[in-house]
Structure 1
Amino acid sequence: MARATHRSAAQIGRTPAGPRPLPPLGATRDVPLPDVEQTIVANGLRVLAARNPSVPMVEMRLRIPFAGSAPDHPAVAEVLSSTLLAGTASRDRVTIDDQLAAVGAELGVHVDPERLAVGGSTLADGLPAALEVVADVLTGATHPDAEVLKERERLAERIRVARAQPSTIAREALQRRRFGDHPITRELPTSAEVTAVEPGTVRALHAASVLPEGAILTLVGDLDPAAAIGLAEKVLGGWTGGPARVLDAPPALVPGDLLLVHRPGSVQSQLRLSALALPRADPRYPALYLANLVFGGYFSSRWMENVREDKGYTYGAHSGIEFVPDGAVLDVSTDVASDVTAAALLETRYELGRLVAVPPTAAEVDAGRRYAVGSLLISLDSQGGFASTIANLAADGLDVRWLRSLPARLEAVTVEEVAAAALEYFAPSAFTGVVVGDADVIGPKVRALGGVAGP
């Protein structure tokens, strides 16, 4: 009996007539996601809980609206977030760390112009202990003087490094270009502002702004939703006050010239373009989402194929939809060498115009549709991904039903609807933005293209 010979994957995938055809992809009409139970407890805290017992863990996401208009708010908020877990009247930092470690829990704190976020995970049977720690720091964090002084020095050094990075400079310039002096633009304080923060100011901000009314707590994992909500209500019931301060909507983005931002000695340039977009709740959002994928939202997009694969101007180019209070904006970004900045900008404008003049084909829309559904399913496959997604949706007034129906809504979008979204939102005239680089090197050619202001 002759022994069977080993065949490679390439051999298996071929027939005498050529490659084996791939079976057609079926439409994904629904996403099998767990139900999410929710309630608003007496102190105004909204609690969401979902059972997802893939591993014996629970993911926790707490979102507290945390806006502020005072000039020193961003700096004080940064120090507050860094010292929130530094101690309470009954627990010092070491005790907090030990008690969390004992139940397999990890917590982190982050702040931005919109929110103070506390997030992490714990072993399922450690949820009561983890919530006890969270409740204690929310209601009784002391922000000890020594910890504040230590953390503000560490933060100041980190901010000095961050503010020297081209991406930080470009992001700050873009935010000012599209939103002026609105508080949403103040994402990173200066190191001098952080160094000036006093412990008493941190404690005062905590008392005034770490409030439950309007906050959202999301729990996902190996739990009973009703029991988890009851536990959260019991443990966090002593957290009172409110309402937490919600960030006002920024002014609507106004199309206009790109601003040339001088960064002396830079060997690279950052292109950051932006236009108005649609929020998730808008019925036209799926069409705009697909139009963005065709333009620059994934590796096989038109813009990426042009400036990376064909021209070799950049390692990466990406466009996406960024959500802001009561709205959304398109972000178009890439980094290129100084000597090809003008050429890259020209090709970017060309691809924006081409998306309008040469609408996406059925094949392009279908490819984007498959990518959108596949990436959505992957992002929701873990407890953490699901927890983060429903927490973000809840802040926008949406729930798991919106998430479940998204694939079907993407499947229902027609090529004509994608073309209409492209025409309305991707026209070059709809954009503004910044070009950051050495103006002495890139300025003459960039300005010659027109539509560029600045030095």
Structure 2
Amino acid sequence: MTTFRTAEEIGRTAVGPRPLPPLGAQRAATGLSTADTKLSNGLHVVVVRMPAVPMVEMRLRIPFAGTDLMHAAVAEVLSATLLTGTARRDRIAVDTDLALVGGELDAQVDPERLSIAGSALATGLDTLLDVLADALTGASYADDEVRREQERLVERIAMARSQPSVIARQALQKHRYGDHPATREMPEAEDVAKVTPADVRALHQASMLPRGSTLVLVGDVDLDAAVGQLERALNGWTGASEAVELPSLPPVTGGDLKFVSRPGAVQSQLRFSAQAIIRTDPRYPALQLANLAFGGFFSSRLVENVREDKGYTYHARSHLEFTPAGATLLIDTDTASDVTASALLEIRYELGKIVLSPPSESEVDIVRQYAVGQLLTATASQAGLASQIVGLATQGLGVDWLVAHPGRLAAVTVEQVAEAALEFFAPARWTGVIVGDPAQLTALDVLGGVTR
């Protein structure tokens, strides 16, 4: 009879547990071959040679802001129907041509930008770019396609708007930014139902512009040849004006949390925010490490307290969110109604604690290794590197910043992390929202700092 050793037996020797092997050296993505230029139509392109696999990854971001109250609804329908047909290709032809080169394209929109992501076999780059250019210059937005996607969006949006996480996000955006266009992250279902194919075609004509937009291509390509392919494919995509950027957001100021009533809810959503700094600020690496120590990964102080020790929540985190010309810190967690007040107390406690008792040298070393490892993991694939670069490019940063960032993290001192914690995590800097059942959350009035 075959016998098997248990995991515990495998991990032990006669004298005790087997020692863990040392961590390997973390290596940044150095030596990347890149081309950073502008095409004749004004489109900013960044091409990176990364021949790990015979594929290419493409990311295109077009500033796509609008102040009209119907803009979000029309833009949502546009992104859903952009790739459903052109003057040269119907929906089936678009899908077939991409499939023949192992390719795909997808479009999404938010208040700031229209994003198009795609991939294909490296040998199919011309086809991928031809389909992309066809959509950018000749998307037809056929009446039947618009109606079909419209019906799907109306149903999806109506369902999404009933979700607690969506309610909390919308409440936080309104609390932070009032009526700024950035708050219209999800259009109203009734507005989407009013959109006409003519509205979508007009928005495409007015806002689908290359000047001010950024395209990133990463993969098994020759740099000069790829730039030439981009020029030939996209030279017909033109526009006299520049793509519309979202106006800068007002700074987030500290203050009371706003209570948002959701009668009958069995859980509460807690969302907090404070103003932060952009990546080019010399304090950014220290803030990044301070945030990780506070609540940015599973072994952080916040998670250890409210999840592991108290059991108030399954998920809690803090993270940075980059906005037009700025950045904010966010804390989010969901709790059962009966422990909401207790969770709020502990979050406030941890904010005060990281200011008065900043991360120790060992904490800083742990989060430093995590930050570097996370960055290297995120950029180890063509898709991950493309997404990272396009995010940086829209903030005016390039591949050099990405390559040098592990060094910046390595240079951060414990004292600098303490200074960042003091400056950015002081409880008075924070505001936010709590969404929950008012009948079950009367204890919030005892804690104070919550406006109903």
Of 155, 168, 171, which aligns to 2:169? Answer: 171
1:389 aligned partner: 388
Q: 1:83-122, aligned counterparts within 5 Å?
A: 83-122=81-120
State whether residues 27 and 411 of structure 1, in contact with CA within 8 Å, keep that contact through their aligned partners in structure 2: no
Deviations 1:334-388 (A, max 9, x none): 0000000000000000001100011111111111111111111111111100000
Gap change, CA 1:429 and 1:93, over 3 Å in 2: same
State whether residues 273 and 432 of structure 1, in contact with CA within 8 Å, keep that contact through their aligned partners in structure 2: yes
State whether residues 41 and 238 of structure 2, in contact with CA within 8 Å, keep that contact through their aligned partners in structure 1: yes
Deviations 1:242-269 (A, max 9, x none): 3110111111111110000001110000
1:416 aligned partner: 415
Gap change, CA 1:66 and 1:240, over 3 Å in 2: same
State whether residues 43 and 213 of structure 1, in contact with CA within 8 Å, keep that contact through their aligned partners in structure 2: yes
Gap change, CA 1:152 and 1:33, over 3 Å in 2: farther
Please say which of residues 391-400 and 17-26 is displaced more in the overlay: 17-26
Q: Which residue identity lines up with residue 407 of structure 1 in the other structure?
A: P
**Rounded Cα–Cα distance in structure 1 between residues aligned with 2:404 and 2:287:** 16
Give the Å deviation of 1:132: 0.7
State whether residues 249 and 326 of structure 1, in contact with CA within 8 Å, keep that contact through their aligned partners in structure 2: yes
Give the Å deviation of 1:31: 3.5
Deviations 1:51-73 (A, max 9, x none): 11111110010111100000000
2:185 aligned partner: 187
1:356 aligned partner: 355
Moved over 2 A (4+): 5-33
State whether residues 322 and 328 of structure 1, in contact with CA within 8 Å, keep that contact through their aligned partners in structure 2: yes
Gap change, CA 1:304 and 1:245, over 3 Å in 2: same
State whether residues 65 and 245 of structure 2, in contact with CA within 8 Å, keep that contact through their aligned partners in structure 1: yes
**Rounded Cα–Cα distance in structure 1 between residues aligned with 2:351 and 2:382:** 37
Give the Å deviation of 1:13: 5.9
Gap change, CA 1:6 and 1:97, over 3 Å in 2: closer
Gap change, CA 1:18 and 1:420, over 3 Å in 2: farther
SS in 2 for 1:423: helix
Q: Which residue identity lines up with residue 73 of structure 1 in the other structure?
A: H
Deviations 1:119-178 (A, max 9, x none): 121111111011111111101111111111111111000000100100000000011111
**Rounded Cα–Cα distance in structure 2 between residues aligned with 1:30 and 1:222:** 19
Gap change, CA 1:29 and 1:52, over 3 Å in 2: closer
SS in 2 for 1:331: strand
Give the Å deviation of 1:15: 6.8
2:258 aligned partner: 259
2:42 aligned partner: 44
Give the Å deviation of 1:194: 0.3
1:80 aligned partner: 78
State whether residues 27 and 376 of structure 2, in contact with CA within 8 Å, keep that contact through their aligned partners in structure 1: no
Q: 1:238-257, aligned counterparts within 5 Å?
A: 238-241=236-239, 242-257=241-256
Aligned residues: 449
Deviations 1:420-455 (A, max 9, x none): 00001001111000000111211x11121111101x
Identity of matched residues, %: 60
SS in 1 for 2:134: helix
**Rounded Cα–Cα distance in structure 1 between residues aligned with 2:4 and 2:193:** 67
State whether residues 26 and 373 of structure 2, in contact with CA within 8 Å, keep that contact through their aligned partners in structure 1: no
**Rounded Cα–Cα distance in structure 2 between residues aligned with 1:178 and 1:326:** 16
Please say which of residues 71-80 and 240-249 is displaced more in the overlay: 240-249
1:344 aligned partner: 343
SS in 2 for 1:231: helix
**Rounded Cα–Cα distance in structure 1 between residues aligned with 2:4 and 2:449:** 62
Q: Which runs of 5+ in 1 are unaligned?
A: none
Q: 1:187-266, aligned counterparts within 5 Å?
A: 187-241=185-239, 242-266=241-265
**Rounded Cα–Cα distance in structure 1 between residues aligned with 2:436 and 2:225:** 55
Deviations 1:167-194 (A, max 9, x none): 0000000111111111111100011010
Gap change, CA 1:17 and 1:358, over 3 Å in 2: farther
Q: Which residue identity lines up with residue 372 of structure 1 in the other structure?
A: A
Gap change, CA 1:29 and 1:120, over 3 Å in 2: closer
**Rounded Cα–Cα distance in structure 1 between residues aligned with 2:409 and 2:375:** 11
Give the Å deviation of 1:29: 7.0
Give the Å deviation of 1:6: 9.8
2:137 aligned partner: 139
Q: Which residue identity lines up with residue 262 of structure 2 in the other structure?
A: R
Of 146, 150, 153, which aligns to 1:152? Answer: 150
Q: Which residue identity lines up with residue 142 of structure 2 in the other structure?
A: P
Please say which of residues 129-138 and 32-41 is displaced more in the overlay: 32-41
1:321 aligned partner: 320
Deviations 1:18-72 (A, max 9, x none): 5566576577474335232111111110111111111111001011110000000
If the length of structure 2 is used for normalisation, what is the TM-score?
0.96
Q: Which residue identity lines up with residue 421 of structure 1 in the other structure?
A: A
**Rounded Cα–Cα distance in structure 2 between residues aligned with 1:26 and 1:49:** 30
State whether residues 28 and 407 of structure 1, in contact with CA within 8 Å, keep that contact through their aligned partners in structure 2: no
Q: Which residue identity lines up with residue 307 of structure 2 in the other structure?
A: R
1:277 aligned partner: 276
Q: Which residue identity lines up with residue 248 of structure 2 in the other structure?
A: A
